[in-house]
Amino acid sequence: MHDASTPDTPALHPDTLAVIAGRPAKTPDQPMSVPVHLTSTYVAGGELEYGRYGNPTWTAFEETLGALEGGRCIAFASGMAAIAAVLDLVEPGGTVVAPRHSYTGTVAALQEREEQGRLRAVYVDITDTAAVAAACDGAAMVWFESPTNPALEVADIAAIARAAHEHGALVAVDNTFATPLLQRPLALGADVVVHSATKYISGHSDVLMGAVVTASDELADATVQRRSLHGAIPAPLETFLALRGLRTLPVRLERAQATAQELVRRLAGHPALEEVRYPGFGAIVSIVVRGGAEPADALVQRTSLWVHATSLGGVESTFERRRRWALEQPTIPEGLVRLSVGLEHVDDLHGDLVRALDSLG
């Protein structure tokens, strides 16, 4: 395959890398795209040997996302599989520093491991860099999202990475919301990046997949070993679809972000809202509906374009009240509704949402 990140290749924009990385060699009669390799078994004598250890379709996806993030990528069956593999890098009994506001699946994984005595979790306000640095003393890993889900808090990745490394801790960043087009944690000092490729990377609400990108071969090899031993491998068809989605991520994200920013501007000051939260980039917006859970639950049932659903990052706009989930933190307002802005026209999205907000009375 053509590797777009080789040293003799001129520096390319991420938009270009998303299109050209992970392609077959440019020789006559080669396909433009790596096909779906539906096989469990390979002829002996090569590097692959068996379907749990590798697949050319995985390789194409991994080359592309790795080029965008600036590291070595390992594809997984889901975002949770990727999260579990990274948390398993922590030695038994180690301490993990994590944000008080995190994806509920991450919180559940940390809680389960803590209950089993496998690790100790310390929760911090990830925007308080000094507090995070203080918590790094004795930690094995600092894990965080930026922006956080669903509070949309932004962390100082570089400063946290420096503090963590001073204490010998690994730094893992969930980059699902920002994507490598808006933020490259490895370049800011992180050791590991995690993605739910289900979201913006695949982008069409038809794939479950995850990915880990590491700054070092040592961490990559350890992560590959966990994938092979635990069997959390992605299916070739899903990987093919995720790579096809990744090819259009730059144009999708550009449109969705522009729409999100305009919606934030238009929604400011609406009487039915206590707050509009937006970190300044990306396509996720959180609104806090005045009156708490009841009007927020009513809101998500009164639209025709916005879809009430728990996932995000697709071409369609979705939203949900996050405190309906038992594991959501009590510091998240009852009336907070997380919006995932899709590709519909901004006027249509705004009109649909405002009509529903106005109906709350």
Is 53 among the catalytic positions? no
Give CA–CA dist 240/56, Å, rounded. Answer: 10
Q: Which is catalytic among the residues 72, 113, 184, 199? A: 199
Residue 274 Rama label (left phi>0; alpha psi -120 to 50; beta): alpha
Whether 52 is catalytic is yes
| 290 labelled catalytic | no
**What distance in Å separates the CA atoms of residue 234 and residue 81, rounded to the nearest whole number?**
10
Residue with tokens 């050319």: 56
Give first-to-last CA distance, the chain, whole Å: 59
Instruction: Report how far residue 34's alpha carbon sits from residue 21's, in angstroms, rounded to the nearest whole number.
Output: 11
What are the tokens at 218?
Answer: 């040592």
Report the length, in residues, of the chain. 361
Angle between the 104-115 and 79-87 helix axes, to the nearest 10 degrees?
Answer: 40
Give the DSSP per-residue string, 115-141. Answer: HTTSEEEEEE-TT-HHHHHHHTTT-SE
Q: Report the distance separating Cα 206 and Cα 226, nearest Å.
A: 26
Give the whole-angstrom CA distance, residue 95 versus residue 33: 43
Strand 273-277's sheet: what is its strand order?
273-277, 284-289, 336-340, 318-321, 307-308
Amino acid letter, residue 54: G
Phi, psi of 294 (to 5 degrees): -60, -50
Q: Is 42 known to be catalytic? A: no
**Residue 188 dihedral angles phi and psi, to the nearest 5°:** -95, 5
Separation between Cα atoms, residue 148 and residue 141, nearest integer Å: 17
Half-sphere exposure of 184 (CA within 13 A, CB side): 12
Out of 15, 42, 52, 125, pick the active-site residue.
Answer: 52
CA 16 to chain centre: 21
Please check whether residue 335 is in contact with residue 294, taking contact to mean a CB–CB distance below 8 angstroms.
no
Catalytic residue among 23, 88, 174, 322: 174
Q: Annotated catalytic residue: which of 23, 88, 103, 247?
A: 103
Catalogue the active-site residues.
52, 103, 174, 199
